[in-house]
């Protein structure tokens, strides 16, 4: 993947947010998911880590006071720990790409602001649009 594809993905993510006012999990998560669609297991695991992080953060927030930066940092930490756990258990057939575990934690923040269904649908839609744009432009 070259830098032009990354820029196209960032532009599509930004335009998606500006047109819908629904964040697809940040600017980079849809790009990462779109680039992972050639390896569906990677895209699915990334979304599963995000959903599991969201659930664990909501559960943890019942017992620990989490607001603001502390809550955001905990979401990223949980997603990283889940990713490392999957990697250590051998459930991830590729190397350890740290970005694929940090980005879902960042997407959790949008899930908490807009709700799970809106963020997940926006992520899937934006990733599909990015994939189609990169495919049509010959960047995949």
Report pTM.
0.89
Domain of residue 108, residue span: 3-136
**Number of independent structural domains in the chain:** 1
Of 22, 51, 7, 24, which is closest to residue 128 (Cα–Cα)?
A: 24
Tens of pLDDT, residue by residue over 99-136, are: 777 889 889 999 999 999 999 999 999 999 999 999 99
Segments in 21-136 forming alpha helices (H): 28-35, 40-60, 68-88, 99-114, 116-136
Query: Mean pLDDT for the chain?
Result: 89
Structure tokens belonging to residue 27: 């600017």
Of 138, 139, 66, which is closest to residue 109 (Cα–Cα)?
A: 66
Please tell me the distance from the alpha carbon of residue 34 to that of residue 47, in angstroms, as a whole number: 12
Of 23, 12, 9, which is closest to residue 119 (Cα–Cα)?
A: 23
């Amino acid at each position: 993947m070259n830098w032009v594809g990354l820029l196209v993905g960032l532009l599509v993510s930004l335009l998606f947010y500006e047109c819908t006012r629904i964040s697809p999990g940040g600017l980079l998560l849809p790009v990462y998911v779109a680039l992972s669609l050639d390896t569906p297991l990677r895209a699915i695991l990334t979304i599963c880590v995000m959903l599991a992080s969201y659930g664990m953060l909501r559960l943890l927030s019942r017992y620990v006071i989490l607001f603001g930066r502390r809550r955001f940092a905990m979401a990223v930490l949980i997603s990283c720990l889940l990713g490392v756990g999957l990697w250590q258990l051998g459930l991830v057939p590729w190397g350890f790409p740290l970005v694929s575990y940090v980005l879902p934690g960042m997407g959790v923040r949008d899930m908490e602001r807009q709700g799970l269904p809106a963020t997940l649908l926006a992520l899937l839609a934006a990733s599909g649009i990015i994939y189609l744009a990169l495919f049509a432009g010959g960047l995949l």
